[in-house]
Structure 1
C-alpha cells in the first residue's frame, strides 16, 4: 500500500467509501478552512501533516509513516537545510501543514519554509529585548507553535502571546501574558483547544508564582487563569482548589513586602483527552527550592506537601476548572519538576483496558496514572536515584531521610540532581511496541542549604542553596572523573511491566527529544553532534548523520506528494549546555553551536558546509592579587548570579562568553561597565546593579581572575606532560 495514499473510511451518500486522507485534508487546507477542532482531534489519522506540538493531543510523538523503515533507513540522506541566525539552544518542534513547515528558533523568532524544497517563505522577529536573557534560567530557547484556523500562535521569551497569519507571517494580535516587572519567561509551546490558546510560563528559580492561562484565538482576550500555588491570602471567595492547597503550605512567606512567589510554573508539558475533555498540565518546582525557606515550620525546617508543586493537574480547558491532581514529589526541595513530557495512551494492565497517562518526571520514577481519575497505577525508577526507595500503594514516595536537606539542614549528594533523570526533551510512544522511549540521564548534585539566605527578586537564582558547593576543584583529573560519572541513555520503557526492554548509553547527558515511526524506527539526536535512527524493537543503531553540533530538539516526520521526510532542529544549548561546558572540561572536545534546520529523505544528496575550525580564545588572565576573603565573596556572588549562563567555577559554555578568557577581565572599569552598568544589555548581558554594588562586581572579577589563573596553571602542566 502506498505510504501516503492510505485509506480512511469516508461517509458518502450513506455508505462507506475509501478515500485518500491526504487528499481530503489537502482540500480542507486549500479551501481556506484552516485548522479546526475536528482536524486536531482526528490528527492521528492524518499522517501527512504535523499540526500540533506532539502531533496529536495525546502527545505520543508517533508518526505512522513507514516509507522510511528499518530496511531502507541506511539510504536516508540530507535533502535540504537552513542556517539560522540565532546561535543559541534550538529546542522547537516544527509544525507542517499543507506542504509548508513552520518553526520557532531561539529568541522567539518564527520561520516558514516550503516543506519539500526548503524555499524560505517568510520570517518574523518579535524583537525580544536582550536584557530578557537574564530572566531565563535555561537559555533563550523556544519550543514551538500552535495552529488554529489560519493562525499560528507562539510565546515570546518576554511573556507575550503572538498570533501570526499562517500564510504571510503578519501579526494578527499580541497579548502580554505575564507581569514583566517580575522574572517571568515563556519558552514552551502553546496548545489550542476549541478556540482557546493555552500557555504557561517559567521563572520559578527567580521567585515568581506559576499559572497557566487560556486566551481567545480570535481576539487574544484572556478567558481564564489557573494558579498552581496559593497566594497566601485565601478566603471563602478563593477557588476551593487553592483553599485546599493553602492548607499544605506555611503561607506566611507568600505575602508581604518580602514575599516570594512560591514557584510552580507550568513551563512545558500539556496533553488533552477530547473524550474526557480534560487538559493535563505538568507543574514545576518550588521557589525557593529549599522548603525550609519556602514553607518553614516552627522548628526552622520545611513543612507541608506544598500543593500543587511537582504535580500533574487535570483541568477543564473551557473554564480552567480543577478536576484532580497527582503529586509526584510532595514537599519538593530538589527542583523535581513534573513539567516533563506527558503521554496519553490506552493499554491493557492486569487484564483490564485502562486509559492511562504516563510521565517520567525529574525525580527518576516512571508513573502510570488513570487519566480519568488521577488514580496511581504504578511507578518504578527509570534511572538511578537515592532520594527515595520506592513508592507506596497510595502513590506516595518512600523517602530517604538523609536527602531531606530542608529538615536536616545538612548537605547531601542526591540523585537525580536538579537536571533530573529526564528533563524537557520529549519522549515518544510506539503503540505497536507498547514502549515509551525516554531521553534519560544520571547526574547527581550536592544540595547544600545556604545559611541566612534571603530572596533577591531583582536578579539571580532564588533557590536557598549554596550553588558553589558543586564547583569542581581545579585538578583536571578529578574534573574528568566527576564528569565521567554523568551518563546519558536512550531507554525503551515497558509501561506495563515497568522495566526497560532495552537501552543505549550515550557519551554524555542532554541528548535530544524523540520520534517513533510506523517504519519501526526511533530517531534521536545527541550531545556528540550526531542524529541517529534506532530499531524501535531492539535498539540497534541503523543510521547516523554528522550534524556538526549537539542536537537537543525532537524530530518530526511528514510527507509531501507521497514522499516522507524527517526534520529536526540542530543547535547545542539549554540548561546543561549553559551551566556547564557541555559536560566536557577539555575545550578541544567542547560541543559547538551551529544552529540549523535539517530535513532528510530517502536518497537525499545535500551536504553540509565543511565544519568550521573552532579556536578558543587564549587563557591569559592578569595576575591574581585579591585577598582570599574577596575571592570567596566574589565566588559566592558568581555562583548565584553568573554561573547559570557562564558555567560553575567560571568554566564557560562553548557558545556563551567564557569569562576566564574575556578581554574585559584585565580592566576594572570595563568589567564594571558591563556587569554593573549594563553597556551590553542589548546583547543579553543586563545590568546587575539592583543586586550587586560596584565592590561586589569587583569581587566577582577577582574570583574569575583567580579561577583563570588556576586553570592556566593546569594548561601549562598539561603542555609539559605532552612535550615529554
Structure 2
C-alpha cells in the first residue's frame, strides 16, 4: 500500500447486522444501509490483483439481461435471475444447494420496460426475500428455499401495468419495495411489510388520484391535496396515473429513521398531454423521505420539476459524512439520469450542491433554494428538438459505489442526446408505452434523423470517479458504448466494474489505472460483490448482457457475439477456464419483399412506436429482439406470435387484447419495410 494512503477502517459492531455487517459478508444489495458498495476486505490488492482467476462459475441458461447483485452470508451465495428464479450456491465451490422458481407468469414480460429482469434480493435472519415481476413479495427459508410467506404488493385488476424489477430492501424489521411500469402508465407507490409475517405496515402513493376518488386511506393522504395542486386540473395523468414509480433504488438512515425513495419518470412523458404543460407534477423524478415507522412524508427534493424526458431519479442513493466548508455534513448523494451529481442533507433534504458530469443543455443553474432553472429550449412541441442527456440517462440504474478512504464516488457515465417531440392528436392506449412522443413519420422523422446523427457525435461512455465535495471528476476511464456495469470498491483501493468490452475489470481507486481485466464473454451490467470464506476473499459478478442498455447497443448495430449469462466467482490463484465462445458471424437473413401500401406502413410505424418500440427499439432498430432480422419462419408466424402467444414461454405475450389482425398486419408491414431499408448495410 502506498505510504500516503490511509489505513483501512473496520466499522464498529451493530446490533442490527444489516447496518454494520461482518467484514466477510455482503447481506444486502448495497452491502449495508449506507449503500456505499464498499467492502473492508483487503486480501486482494493492487499488487496481487493480476493473480485473480476464476474459482467457479454457474451457467444461468438465459440470454436475457441478468442485473441482480448477489448477496452472501454464512458460506452461501444467493442469486436471482429473470422471472425471479432464485438459487443458493455453496460460495466456495459453486455447488447448487437449492433453486426456487416462483412461476412468474410469462405474460408479465410485456409490462417490463427493459426485459423481465430482477435487480436483486434481500435477507433477514433465516429468510431470503424476493419480489416477483407480477407483484408478489415472497420470504424463502434460507436453508432450503421453501416459501415461508407470500404477500401481494399490488392487485392484478387495477387497470395499471404494474410490475417489479427492483430489489426489495430490508430495513430493520420491515421489507420496503417499489414497482415498475411508469412507461406504460401507473400511479407510483412504495410500501413496507413486516419481515416476519408479510403483513403490510404502510403505503405511500407518489402521484395523486383524481380528487373525486377521495382519500386512499394510506400514509400519503396527509400531503395528497398539496401534491395534487402541482398538477393541472385536467390532463391524462388522471387516467394514466402520472408515473413516479420507484423502480430501483430505495435507501435508509437508521439513526434518522428515514426511508429515501427515488422516483421515476412521469407518464405520459409529454407534459403537454399529461398536465397541459402545467405544474411541477410531484413527486416525479424526486427523492422523497418518509418516516420509517409510519410512512408519512418528511421532505422531498425534485430534480426535474415537470419532467418530460423519461428521466428518473431511481439511481443509487448513497449515505456518507463529508467535510464541506470545514463542517461535517451527513449527506445523501445521487447521480440520476439528468446528468448532474447531487448532494442533499440527509435529515432535511436541503440542497447542498450539484454539478453536471456530462454535456447537458437542459439546466441553466439553480436558484437560492436549489430549484433547477430549466431551459425553455428543451420544452418541446411538435417539432423535434435535441435534448441532452437522452432517455437512457447520463447514469441509469447501474449501481454506484463510494469509498470513504478516497472520498470519491464511482459510477458508469453516458453522454448522449435525443430528439423529443409531441405527437399531434395522440391518444393513450391501455397497457402500452404511453409517451405522447412524436416525430416518427413525415417531416418530423426527417428532423428526428438529423438530430440523431448529431447526437451520435456526442456519445461517450466512461467509468467516472467523482469528488462530491468539489463537484468535479477526479479521473475518468473511457469505455466503449453505453451499458458499462455497476461498481464495487474495496478497502484495498480497488474499483471493480463490468465493461462493454465483455470484460470484468479492476482499477486503482485513486488514479483510475486499469490493473486487471478478465474476458467474460458477455458484458456484466450488474453490481459485483466481494466476500470472505475460510480465509479466502472472493469476488462475484453476474455476466448477462441485456436490459435497456443492450437495446441501445443493438440499435446501433454493434452487438457482439456472446455466451449465455453466467455467475462468475473469482479468487487469487483461481484456475477454472470458461469454454470457448462460439462466434456467430452469420449475416441477418434477407427480408421478404414489401407489398403493403405506404398508408399501411405509416400506420404500422405509429402502432409500432406505441406498442412495440419499448422492447424492440425505436425505428425498429435493436431491442430485445431486432425484428428486422427475423427468419422466414418467424415472419410466417408473426400473427400467431403477436396475437396468439406462440412465443409466450420466451417472454413474448399475446397482444390480442389491444391489437386487431389489421393492426398486426400493419405493424408487420412496417417491420418488413424497415428490414428492406436496412438489409445488407
TM interval, shorter chain, is over 0.9
C-alpha deviation, 1:483, in angstroms: 4.7
TM-score in terms of structure 1 length: 0.88
C-alpha separation in 2, matches of 1:701 and 1:221: 47
1:320 matched residue in structure 2: 295
Pairwise mapping of residues 107-256 of structure 1 onto structure 2 (< 5 A)?
107-181=83-157, 182-233=160-211, 239-253=221-235
C-alpha deviation, 1:243, in angstroms: 1.5
Contact 2:417 2:455 in 1 (8 A): no
TM-score in terms of structure 2 length: 0.93
C-alpha separation in 1, matches of 2:94 and 2:11: 33
C-alpha deviation, 1:678, in angstroms: 2.5
C-alpha deviation, 1:646, in angstroms: 2.0
| 1:292 counterpart = 2:272 | yes
1:18 matched residue in structure 2: none
Across the aligned residues of Structure 1 and Structure 2, the Cα RMSD in angstroms comes to: 2.4
Pairwise mapping of residues 254-403 of structure 1 onto structure 2 (< 5 A)?
259-296=239-276, 302-403=277-378
C-alpha deviation, 1:225, in angstroms: 0.6
Contact 1:660 1:707 in 2 (8 A): no
C-alpha deviation, 1:396, in angstroms: 1.3
Give SS of 1:398's match.
strand
C-alpha deviation, 1:682, in angstroms: 3.1
| 1:639 counterpart = 2:609 | yes
Give SS of 2:677's match.
helix
Give SS of 2:176's match.
strand
| 1:675 counterpart = 2:642 | yes
Query: Which is higher, the Rg of structure 1 or of structure 2?
Result: 1
Give SS of 1:425's match.
coil
Question: 436, 440, 461: which one pairs with 1:488?
Answer: 461
C-alpha deviation, 1:479, in angstroms: 8.7
Give the stretch that moved more between structures: 631-640 or 427-436: 631-640
Contact 1:483 1:583 in 2 (8 A): no
Aligned CA distance change for structure 1 residues 288 and 616 (closer, same or farther; 3 Å): farther
Aligned CA distance change for structure 1 residues 402 and 615 (closer, same or farther; 3 Å): same
1:32 matched residue in structure 2: none
C-alpha deviation, 1:584, in angstroms: 3.9
Query: Unpaired runs of 5+ in structure 2?
Result: 2-7
Query: Unpaired runs of 5+ in structure 1?
Result: 11-20, 22-35, 297-301, 716-724
CA offsets, 1:624-671, max 9 Å, x none? 122211111111111221122222332334x6353432334653xx32
C-alpha separation in 2, matches of 1:380 and 1:8: 31
C-alpha separation in 2, matches of 1:462 and 1:167: 43
Give SS of 1:88's match.
coil
Give SS of 1:314's match.
strand
C-alpha separation in 2, matches of 1:9 and 1:649: 51
C-alpha deviation, 1:482, in angstroms: 6.0
Give SS of 1:40's match.
coil
| 1:453 counterpart = 2:426 | yes
C-alpha separation in 1, matches of 2:456 and 2:472: 27
CA offsets, 1:415-470, max 9 Å, x none? 01111110000100011110001211012111111111111123x20111127379
C-alpha separation in 1, matches of 2:656 and 2:233: 30
CA offsets, 1:244-267, max 9 Å, x none? 1111011434687xx111111011
CA offsets, 1:516-556, max 9 Å, x none? 11111100001120111000000011100000011100111
2:4 matched residue in structure 1: none
1:521 matched residue in structure 2: 494
Question: 563, 582, 595: which one pairs with 2:554?
Answer: 582
1:663 matched residue in structure 2: 632
C-alpha deviation, 1:583, in angstroms: 5.5
C-alpha separation in 2, matches of 1:626 and 1:562: 67
C-alpha deviation, 1:37, in angstroms: 6.1
Question: 80, 84, 105: which one pairs with 1:104?
Answer: 80
Aligned CA distance change for structure 1 residues 136 and 9 (closer, same or farther; 3 Å): closer
1:17 matched residue in structure 2: none
